[in-house]
Structure 1
Amino acid sequence: MAGKKKTERTKIWLLGGEKGGMGKSMVGRVCAEQLLAAKVPFHLVDADASTPNVGLTYAKELYTGFRERVAAAPTLAAGNSPSTATLDRQIVFSGDASTYLQADRILTLAEQQDVLVVLPSQVAGYVKRWLDDNDVVGMLAEPSNTIDVVHFFVSNGTNESIELFKDSVESSKGKIPHVLVLNRGAATDIDWRWFDWDELVAKYLASYGFESIVIPELLLDPAVKTKILDGNIQFGDALKAEWMPKPSVRRLNKWLKEATQALASTKYFDCHPNYSFEVEATVESTGEKAAA
């Protein structure tokens, strides 16, 4: 995709959650779908070397290439792992000194266009070190800086996940903007109402001027949902597919509208053109006139 002019501001969206099972890949697919539909030039970095599902869906050629090269590679040298073999090509976050600096390419890419970074689980320490060593907090404070960084932290609403969110915020002393993403589709049996009642969480968010959004659960026929996700089919393509049952199209369309509007409400993402607030307002206005 064409890059932006150097004078324009660009964004780095860090999409994390630290624990597995939070639904980072699902939220990452929504983000990529939204950016693609809005025709926003962006580079996708799926830092999960083992299962880069977002990359395989929205940057298929690049991430399929990673996997093909690893599969075709000769026997690895003693002490190397399959994931290590990909690090010279695929950006990941690791404690391996020989590959640690590869993540700096994210900042280089962001000089020209927006970058969506999907983080795997259990890399908070590596990410914090990377942010510290690059003095990202200092960079954000520089008057000449044209790169914005925001961390979308995906949570399943449990106390443990909320505490990890707080740790992430405190690691930069609140200097890197965070958005708490409550993913109601995450595998959990908690009563989500506890979050609505938790005044301490609300006060914590308010103290930094941060906010939370809700991504609803995608309830589809299991076979259809599996075909979309396991087949790495973009949501926009699935909505147009002839094999999609009409009830599934309506369900997916409604869910995508709610999810993309939640992201756009933060002002860090452009609206999906099919679900923009302006389009919705126009439809409502037209409906009122017709009723009159």
Structure 2
Amino acid sequence: MGRVHFIGGEKGGVGKSLTARLLAQYFIDSATPFTGFDSDQSHGTFSRFYKDFSSPLRVDDYESLDNIITIAETLPEHDLIIDLAAQTSARLGQWIEESDVFGIFTEMGHKVFIWHVMDDGADAMSLLDKTLDSYPQQDIQFIVVQNLGRGENFEAFEQSPIFQKAQQRNAYCMTLGKLHPKLVQKVDFNDLSFWAAANNRDLMNTPERQRVRVWLENSYTQFDHFLKHDDEPAEEHASPEAYAD
């Protein structure tokens, strides 16, 4: 059964592309085939770092969006990662509703994951509330990503009715740890995949590589809870040398 991951949050600057890149690296390291789509026409961050695995996506073009279905049909063993730019939910939702996209995925046997990446602001909570209301289907798995790189205190969210609402929808809430800002900047300026950041000795010193490895392992442990297949050994991770530069 394939899986389709819509990674959004609607708000800009909360770490949506970072989460998409992290999920891509998780799939690479666990030898899980996947195809990515990057809807950010202005920056294209996801496709910049994982260009061999992604292609551009226009949410204002049904033919472009239909490619998601085409790939799901032709590569049923692939997970799909759709990195959604800010303020794209209305157009995406219209395509989903008019095309009965979730019904198509159900017929294919694909499971849909909706990822909501958020900071600790009130607007991120409100956008999550709207997302939960927009997709009432019970067979959708919601993933709420509390990004410590974009917020320090999620206590207000965790005590809110919106958090309770997410729990009632069986959403999985994970915490994305914070990488040191100068380390993130170094990774970005050198266009490094996360594997390269954890292994490239020419560009990263030993403490920097280790910090990336710790961050990846902590994130992967949480991913394993809702993504790992029962028959896959949790400790095995491949490290393609293609990402060494």
TM interval, short-chain normalised: 0.7 to 0.9
The equivalent of 2:239 in structure 1 is none
After TM superposition, the structure 1 = structure 2 runs for residues 108-147 of structure 1, keeping only pairs within 5 Å, are 108-111=70-73, 112=75, 113-142=78-107, 145-147=108-110
Equivalent position SS for 1:204: helix
Do the aligned partners of 1:20 and 1:121 also contact (CA within 8 Å) in 2? yes
Instruction: Confirm whether residue 260 of structure 1 aligns to residue 223 of structure 2.
Output: no
1:11: how far off?
1.0
Alignment partner, residue 227 of structure 1: 186
CA positional deviation for 1:231? 2.4
Q: Hey, what does 1:92 align to over in structure 2?
A: 58
What's the counterpart of residue 146 of structure 2? 182
Deviation at 1:199, TM superposition (A): 4.8
Contact 1:10/1:146, CA 8 A, preserved across alignment: yes
Corresponding residue of 2:209: 249
| Residues in 2 aligned to 1:169 and 1:215: alpha-carbon distance in whole angstroms | 21
What is aligned with 2:153?
A: 191
Partner Cα distance (1:206, 1:134) in 2: 28
Q: Which residue of 2 aligns with 1:29?
A: 21
SS at match of 1:59: coil
- Equivalent residues in 2 for 1:56-71 (5 A)? 56-60=48-52
Gaps of 5+ in 2: 237-245
- Normalising to structure 1: TM-score of the pair? 0.72
Q: Is 1:105–2:78 an aligned residue pair?
A: no
- Could you tell me the percent identity over the aligned residues? 22
Give the count of matched residue pairs. Answer: 230
User: Residue 174 of structure 1 contacts residue 208 of structure 1 at CA under 8 Å; is this kept in 2?
Assistant: no
Structure with greater Cα Rg: 1
The 2-side partners of 1:240 and 1:206 are apart by 38
Structure 1 residue 141, shift from structure 2 partner:
4.9
Query: CA 1:162–1:270 in structure 2 vs 1: closer, same or farther (change >3 Å)?
Result: farther
Check the 8 A contact 1:38/1:270 in 2, yes or no: no
For 1:127 and 1:137, how far apart are their aligned partners in 2? 12
Kindly provide the amino acid, as one letter, of the partner of residue 155 in structure 1.
M
Give yes or no for contact 2:147–2:177 (8 Å, CA) kept in 1: yes
Tell me what 2:46 maps to: 54
Paired letter, 1:107: I
Secondary structure of the residue aligned to 2:226 is: coil
How far, CA to CA, are the matches of 1:270 and 1:234 in structure 2?
24
- 1:221-276 Cα shifts (integer Å, max 9, x gaps): x1x43231132211111211113121111211111111122222223x569x9xx7
